Amino acid sequence: MTDSGPDRQALLLEKLLEPGPMVAVELRPPRSNLQAGEGMEAWIDLHHSLNRLTSEELFVFLTDNAVGAAEEENLAHVSANLGDEADLRRIVPILTTKHLLEYCLMFASRAISGGFDALTVLGGDQSVGTKRCVPHGRDLRELIRMRLPELVLGGWVNPHRDAIEQVNFVNAPDAHSNFALTQIVSHHSLAEVERFLSIIDARLMPIVFGVFFYRSANPSTLEELSNFFPVPVEELTRDFQAGATAEEICAESIRELRRIGAEKVYVSNLGNRGAARRLRRILELV
């Protein structure tokens, strides 16, 4: 690890340190601007998915204002509405620096007192939304670590950028992270992932690679997504034109990543309604 960190291991960290594959899910809380009825329905869908996924002993990362969209706070609603229905150790809230510093520090305290034992702390997209309260995610992780040394913290890494630079970021003594999520990758970016894997020691810093569930090759959708992460537009278009389904494309990414050693992944964009069912279909093809 990059620092002494917590004396105990969170359930997520235990799983990440075990050999073999792991699949987690990234879900998004409902948008904060939904009408009352829509918001309630959206939260019911999310809660059903959280219950189903955690009951199947899967881990779920819950976003924080993903891609600049104002979302309901992930921590408050899960704590208030799930209660004892789900093992909160399997739900890992994501916190970005794009809030007031006081809010961020209180968020971490509420997380650990509410039964969560791991938190992913990211800088957040600087091109949209509010400004960061500190320059980088590591700065916020350092402040949280000083106050809550028992809380397991996750960071962020981008295999699409210079591999040596990125590995140095996550291995630095001031990274204050016990694991890291990656930017979205796929079977179309294996070369970048292989370069990253050739340098990182995943036994010391567990890495969870992001995989996106592309529902179609809609040009406007892919163009919009390209504003936030590298999207292999031409390759995906060829995949869909060749008759591959969304599930088959996602499964191929997971399968090929496992083949080169990227065994721990999280799947994004499954949607809050039927996420467990959709994931099951994907994994049947892996």
Residue 165 is assigned to a structural domain of this protein: yes
What's the alpha-carbon Rg for the chain, to the nearest Å?
Answer: 18
Q: 267: Cβ–Cβ under 8 A, 6 or more apart, which residues?
A: 23, 24, 25, 26, 211, 212, 213, 250, 254, 279, 282
User: Which one is predicted more confidently, 19 or 82?
Assistant: 19
In a domain, 31, yes or no: yes
Strand partners, 92: 61
Answer yes or no: is 40 within a domain. yes
Parent domain of 109: 11-283
| Residue 5 included in any domain | no
Dihedral-angle region of residue 155 (phi above 0 means left; psi in -120 to 50 means alpha; beta otherwise):
beta
Are 121 and 149 a contacting pair, CB within 8 Å?
no
Query: Which pTM was predicted?
Result: 0.92
**Residue 2 pLDDT class (50, 70, 90 cuts):** low
Whether the per-residue pLDDT at 127 is higher than 90: the answer is no
Tokens at 116, concatenated = 């969560």
When comparing pLDDT for 41 and 165, which is higher?
165
Mind listing the pLDDT tens digit for each residue in 40-59? 777 788 888 999 999 999 99
- What is the DSSP code string of 163-214? HHHHHHHHHSTT---SEEEEEEE-GGGHHHHHHHHTT--TTTS-EEEEEE--
| Number of Cβ atoms within 10 Å of the Cβ of 41 | 15
Contacts of 6 (CB under 8 A, 6+ apart): 149, 150, 151, 152, 178
Q: Which residue has the tokens 């019911």?
A: 44
pLDDT band at 37 (very low <50, low <70, confident <90, very high): low
* Residue carrying the six token digits 């957040």: 124
- Does 260 fall in a domain? yes
Which of 120-129, 164-173, 261-270 has the least mean pLDDT? Answer: 120-129
Residue 3 lies in a domain: no
Residue 1 maps to a domain: no
The predicted-structure confidence for 100-114, as pLDDT tens digits, reads as follows: 999 999 999 999 998
The band of 67, judged by pLDDT with boundaries at 50, 70 and 90, is: low
Contact between residue 170 and residue 163 where contact means Cβ atoms under 8 Å apart: no
Cα 125 to Cα 132: distance, rounded to the nearest angstrom: 9
Report the candidate in 240, 243, 214 with the shortest Cα–Cα distance to residue 226. Answer: 214
Instruction: Report the distance separating Cα 203 and Cα 252, nearest Å.
Output: 25
Banded model confidence at residue 78, pLDDT cuts 50, 70, 90? confident
Task: Confirm whether 119 is domain-assigned.
Answer: yes
- How high is the pLDDT of residue 107? 94
Q: CB–CB of 214/249 below 8 Å?
A: yes
Secondary structure (DSSP) of 71-97:
B--HHHHHHHHHTTSS-GGGEEEEEES
Confidence (pLDDT) at 5 = 62
| Identity of the residue numbered 237 | T
Is residue 28 a contact partner of residue 63, using CB atoms and an 8 Å limit? yes
Structure token digits, residue 48 = 């059903």
Domain count, the chain: 1
Q: Would you place residue 80 in the very low, low, confident or very high pLDDT band (cuts 50, 70, 90)?
A: confident
Q: What is the mean pLDDT of residues 61-73?
A: 71
Q: Is the pLDDT of residue 7 over 60?
A: no
pLDDT tier for residue 71 given thresholds of 50, 70 and 90: low
d(C-alpha 143, C-alpha 119), whole Å: 13
Asked whether residue 180 carries a pLDDT value surpassing 60, the answer given is yes
Averaged confidence pLDDT in the chain: 90
pLDDT of residue 73: 76
Nearby residues of 19 by Cβ (< 8 Å), 6 or more positions away: none
Asked if pLDDT for residue 33 goes beyond 70, the answer is no
% the chain with pLDDT above 90: 74
Task: Kindly report the CATH number assigned to the domain that includes residue 107.
Answer: 3.20.20.220
Which residue bears the tokens 């990234």?
A: 26
